[in-house]
Amino acid sequence: MIPYGRQDISQDDIDAVIRVLHSEWLTQGPKVPEFEKAVANYCGAKHAVAVNSATSGLHIACMALDVGHGDVVWTSPNTFVASANCARYCGARVDFVDINPNTFNLCPVKLAEKLEEAKKSDRLPKVVIPVHLCGQSCDMAAIHALAKEYGFRIIEDASHAIGGRYQNQPVGSCRFSDITVFSFHPVKIITTAEGGMTITNDAELAARMARLRTHGIIKDLTQMHNPPVGPWYYEQLELGYNYRMTDLQAALGLSQLNRLDYYVSERNKIAKRYDELLSDFPVKRPHLIPAAYSSWHLYPIRVQLDHIKASHREVFEAMHKADIGVNLHYMPVHLQPYYRELGFEVGMFPAAESYGQDAISLPMYPNLNQDQQDHVVSVLKEALSQ
Ligand SMILES: *Cc1c(COP(=O)(O)O)cnc(C)c1O
């Protein structure tokens, strides 16, 4: 079986986790801040707050930006549901901005048009969450310019994109955003099993997210509302959660981080090879904007259904029959039953809907060897000509 994605765990990773098991701390020890510092340094950003998933990270990022009832948050319909759900957790309304059919990312031109409309009816978003699909950064300079013009904040959902770059800066530098969120789920670029991290250059946002991940509790005397009455004293200032990462996870993440650049360069090699091997297939390959160096979490192709006899589903089934675990990233979020109940319908975001009808993510992970890749390509060729 060749899956669409797979983690890589080395003996160093295993040793790092075992060392923590022998230590005094299983959670909230020295490894979490060490991992936070290492990721912040890697990104060239000031602050990082480790959490137990990117979903938690997106939630506390929205909370830190004061997203609440009466607010509107916009994201891409071509993403995992978590990019939209985080706003719903805060009681905000969600809306979507359609994608560019070639990059598959939230389209800045459509964003500008939608903002102009929203301004007329006084329904501008408080936060926009661009998603760096497959590891390619959205056009952040354009989105940031619109944020200045229309006054919204930006959370980058970079769950796919650690190790990627935009305008020669690491994704996560937050040069064009308020907060960036990474995922360390096993199919992503590096893993902590479950885990995530929020990155920001704003000290206040970082402090707010740090307390929201642990029940809204602070131990810092300078922030307390009342004088401490004893050494046991702490204060809960607002309603937070237990979204903490463990030291076991942070040790795994630190060890994986050593191989991040290697992983991303392997993924780039595999993508380049797919580009070559598929060049005369009836498929559209992912298009990169010149400013982006992708981390290639995914390699999706768009099957040109009007050039072949088989249906989208038949191509999928032929690949699965050959034990190749292709997948679709993503079914449009606005067409999920939960979002349809909130009023979204077929036809609202046609570019994302059409992507959902012809896209296939091919296997993509650093240990995919050339023989396996050749096999995927030959099975695909067969599947497209059935
Ligand atoms: C994986 C993913 C998430 C959620 O990540 P978890 O760490 O599993 O919570 C959010 N957004 C996108 C785009 C993702 O791919």
Task: List the beta bridge partners of residue 101.
Answer: none
**Which of 224, 257, 290 marks a domain boundary?**
257
Atom of ligand 1 nearest to the CA of 183: 7
> Degrees (nearest 5) of the Cα angle 123, 126, 129?
115
**How far is 128 from 112, CA to CA, in rounded Å?**
12
Atom of ligand 1 nearest to the CA of 187: 1
**How far is 80 from 131, CA to CA, in rounded Å?**
9
Atom of ligand 1 nearest to the CA of 57: 9
Residues with CB under 6 A from ligand 1: 53-55, 79-80, 82-83, 131, 157, 159-160, 183, 185, 196
Residue 61: per-residue pLDDT? 99
Q: How far is the CA of 83 from the centre of ligand 1 (A)?
A: 7
The predicted-structure confidence for 161-214, as pLDDT tens digits, reads as follows 999 999 999 999 999 999 999 999 999 999 999 999 999 999 999 999 999 999
**Which of 235, 257, 279 marks a domain boundary?**
257
Element (H, E) at 128: strand 127-129
Nearest to 293 by CA among 147, 173, 148, 146: 173
**Which of 257, 272, 300 marks a domain boundary?**
257
Are 324 and 242 contained in the same domain? no
Mean predicted lDDT score pLDDT of the chain: 97
Q: How far is the CA of 160 from the centre of ligand 1 (A)?
A: 8
Q: Give the residue numbers spanning the domain of 215.
A: 2-257
Q: For residue 106, what is the DSSP state?
A: B
Q: How far is the CA of 13 from the centre of ligand 1 (A)?
A: 22
Residue 220 has pLDDT above 90, yes or no: no
Atom of ligand 1 nearest to the CA of 55: 9
Helical H runs in 65-193? 82-89, 108-120, 140-150
When pLDDT is cut at 50, 70 and 90, the band that residue 233 belongs to is: very high
The predicted-structure confidence for 356-384, as pLDDT tens digits, reads as follows 999 999 999 999 999 999 999 999 999 99
What is the rounded radius of gyration, in angstroms, for the C-alpha atoms of the chain?
A: 21
Nearest to 171 by CA among 163, 159, 183, 181: 163
Residue with tokens 């359609």: 98
Are 200 and 285 contained in the same domain? no
Per residue in 203-221, is it b (16+ CB within 10 Å) or e — as a string? eebbbbbbbbbbbbebeee
Residue 271: per-residue pLDDT? 98
% of the chain exceeding 90 in pLDDT: 98
Are 98 and 207 contained in the same domain? yes
Residue 386 has pLDDT above 90, yes or no: no
Structurally, how many domains does the chain consist of?
Answer: 2
Name the residue of 76, 83, 361 to mutate for ligand 1: max ligand atoms within 8 A of Cβ.
83
Residue 28 has pLDDT above 90, yes or no: no
